[in-house]
Chain A
Amino acid sequence: MISPAAAYRNLLLFVLPALAVYLVFAVLPLATSIVMSFFQTSGASGDTFVGFANYVRLFTHPTISARFWNALLNNMQYFAIHLIVEVPMGLLLAALLTSGKLARSEGIYRTLLFIPATLSVVIVGFVWRLIINPLWGLVGFPLLGTESTALTTISLMSVWQYFGIPMVFLYSALLAVPNELVEAANIDGAGGWTTFWKIKFPLIAPQFGLIAILTYIWTFNGFDLVFALNGSAPGPNYSTDILGTYFYRTFFGSSGQLADLDLGSAVATVIFLTVLLVTAAYFWLIQRRLKSYSV
């Protein structure tokens, strides 16, 4: 046996390299961002503590706040579309893959269906813009050029790219469902549909909840696809602006907007809290109860 003192020493020696990189390049920047949001760092007199002034500006300045609320609402819609299309689509495909009707073709389907998730957003954006091009594509209507349809269109492109993630996630959860339970249900005369909803789904409910909350976190970190398609001031008329592109503009600047690191830090903090509060609430209120059903 190892003495407690030696255990502590060994633990620290082994963990330290990973911990240091993680703390310095992930935790520290985020913490610094939160601290910075209470300061004015660009002034001539060095850093000045300004309390909530950056937040007041973010929430009350006419154009800054209008754009912020717009990006937040758009981001909610972006998430909602992923939640109601991508996650159920992943569940459906996972259910089909594990339906026991496929034999050897299961792996082939799984691999082919996952291909979009391995593509970069540049390809996804380009190929879909090509397909829905109003001049000679499949749709004779400018889906991306119209304010009311642009965000939904981009969201669905993203759904097309990422449905493989909830699919394989729920697929492996379904594979872990004990076969005896399914066979018992079959002997009792339950069909595929009944077996799925009465036996399999309740057992994978925790994973279903988890992929829903991960989708929330990932969509509120969204940026790449919107930027690849529409740049950092995503139009038409900011109708596809989400928090990621809004945040990018505040610290990077754009036409008609100067880079503002302090405001950017406040934006980062607000996004962080938006993600943190919902995630914490989810784990506190829902995930614990789901766990109690699992075996």
Chain B
Amino acid sequence: MSAPDLTIPAARRRQDREPWTMERIIVHALLILFVLLAIGPVLIVIINSLKTTPAIFGGPFDLPTAKTFSLEGYRRVFTRGNFIVNYRNSLIVTVTTIGLTVVLSTLAAFALVEYRVRLASLLGGLFVLGIMLPIRLGTIPLIQMMLAWRLMDTLAALILVYTAMSIPIAVTLMVTYFRTVPTDLKEAARMDGASELRTFWIVLPLVRPGLAAVAALTMLPVWNDLWFPLILAPSRQNQTVTLGVQQFVGQFMNDYPALLAALTLGAVPLVLLFTLFSRQFISGLSKGYSK
């Protein structure tokens, strides 16, 4: 408790001691208003998922009391739903996609920055264009490809499509990070007789923030996507969390405690991850799309 927080610059500490001017009060008031608007609905879901059905309808905005508290919804989600399988599928798809995207785009971005031949700028441009590419519009040929390769209704189909979807922004983002690596370091490595792959390994720790940004940026659209799970992996054993919750909502229309529990379980992991990685996500978003 006693150690002063040295990470906050002096200018900011000064602000903390500034008087509460009218302008400052208005800024805080507006932000608090928007925060309530942003998290209010989420809190309603979480709070009501912990109550009995009559309590949900009797006072949807009340906190659970000893009398109205109930975990029945959660119990029913796990007995009737398919949550463990859904979670496993979403984890496999998201983690593998992130892994593949990080590895492939890092290799590509290193080379695009390193070997300044004409082709490199052409390829770089091709990846930048891909950021704008609405990949869903290729769904019909994708279905036919997956059918032909016997990948229809598999998690592999999702992973391949999501990796392709994530690569353009990931490559573009990693290029901006590799540009900041000093040339001296790479030349020194080569002088020592390091191979190109070895040089890549030596440089890699310097672009670590970029790897985190790519991971944070890839995770969100993949975990929350509804379109491709619906079309490429719809069967019960291959459903992701997003699709699983969607179907659960359709099936148990009137079981509100279970529905709200399912929604809470579907949302919590990503909300937590983003609270932890928001910095990486923000830098990824701004650097990646600002090309």
Q: Do A and B bind each other?
A: yes
Chain A residues in contact with chain B, CB under 8 A? 2, 4, 7-8, 10-11, 13-15, 17-19, 21-22, 24-33, 36, 92-93, 96-97, 99-105, 109-123, 126-128, 130-131, 136, 160, 164-165, 168-169, 171-173, 191-192, 207, 210, 214, 217, 220-221, 223-224, 227-228, 244, 247, 251-252, 261, 264-265, 268-269, 271-272, 275, 279
A112 vs B39: C-alpha distance in the bound complex, in angstroms? 7
Does B148 interact with chain A (Cβ within 8 Å)?
Answer: no
- Taking a contact as CB atoms under 8 Å apart, the answer to whether B27 and A99 are in contact is yes
- Taking a contact as CB atoms under 8 Å apart, the answer to whether B111 and A15 are in contact is yes
- Taking a contact as CB atoms under 8 Å apart, the answer to whether A168 and B281 are in contact is yes
- Taking a contact as CB atoms under 8 Å apart, the answer to whether B42 and A224 are in contact is no
- Taking a contact as CB atoms under 8 Å apart, the answer to whether B139 and A29 are in contact is yes
Contact (A96, B249) CB under 8 Å given A32-B138, A123-B263, A172-B282: no
- Taking a contact as CB atoms under 8 Å apart, the answer to whether B119 and A8 are in contact is yes
- Taking a contact as CB atoms under 8 Å apart, the answer to whether B281 and A2 are in contact is no
List chain A residues, Cβ under 8 A from B192: none
- Taking a contact as CB atoms under 8 Å apart, the answer to whether B226 and A120 are in contact is yes
A103 vs B285: C-alpha distance in the bound complex, in angstroms? 23
Chain B residues in contact with chain A, CB under 8 A? 8, 12-13, 15-16, 23-24, 27-28, 30-31, 34-35, 37-39, 41-42, 44-45, 57, 60, 100, 104-105, 107-108, 110-112, 114-117, 119-120, 123, 126-127, 130, 132-143, 145, 160-161, 163-165, 167-168, 171, 196, 200, 220, 223-227, 230-231, 241-242, 245-246, 249, 259, 263, 266-267, 270-271, 273-275, 278, 281-283, 285-286, 289-290
- Taking a contact as CB atoms under 8 Å apart, the answer to whether B225 and A123 are in contact is no
* The residue from A4, A19, A120, A126 contacting B259, defined by CB atoms under 8 A apart: A126
* The residue from B161, B200, B285 contacting A25, defined by CB atoms under 8 A apart: B161
- Taking a contact as CB atoms under 8 Å apart, the answer to whether B282 and A171 are in contact is yes
- Taking a contact as CB atoms under 8 Å apart, the answer to whether A119 and B141 are in contact is no
List chain A residues, Cβ under 8 A from B139: 29, 247, 251, 268
- Taking a contact as CB atoms under 8 Å apart, the answer to whether B130 and A22 are in contact is yes
A266 vs B75: C-alpha distance in the bound complex, in angstroms? 47
A31 vs B246: C-alpha distance in the bound complex, in angstroms? 31
A27 vs B129: C-alpha distance in the bound complex, in angstroms? 10
- Counting from the closest, the 10 A-B pairs by CB-CB distance are A29-B138, A14-B111, A25-B164, A172-B286, A32-B141, A18-B108, A18-B104, A30-B138, A7-B115, A29-B141
* The residue from B110, B140, B266 contacting A265, defined by CB atoms under 8 A apart: B140
A11 vs B110: C-alpha distance in the bound complex, in angstroms? 9
- Taking a contact as CB atoms under 8 Å apart, the answer to whether B38 and A22 are in contact is no
A8 vs B226: C-alpha distance in the bound complex, in angstroms? 40
* The residue from A24, A26, A109, A269 contacting B130, defined by CB atoms under 8 A apart: A26
* The residue from A10, A164, A173 contacting B286, defined by CB atoms under 8 A apart: A173
* The residue from A110, A120, A165 contacting B278, defined by CB atoms under 8 A apart: A110
A276 vs B126: C-alpha distance in the bound complex, in angstroms? 15
- Taking a contact as CB atoms under 8 Å apart, the answer to whether B27 and A101 are in contact is yes
List chain A residues, Cβ under 8 A from B8: 103-104
A184 vs B112: C-alpha distance in the bound complex, in angstroms? 40
List chain B residues, Cβ under 8 A from A271: 134, 137
Q: How far is the CB of A213 from chain B (nearest CB, A)?
A: 9
List chain A residues, Cβ under 8 A from B230: 227
Contact (A272, B134) CB under 8 Å given A119-B224, A123-B45: yes
Contact (A109, B31) CB under 8 Å given A11-B117, A14-B111, A114-B274: yes
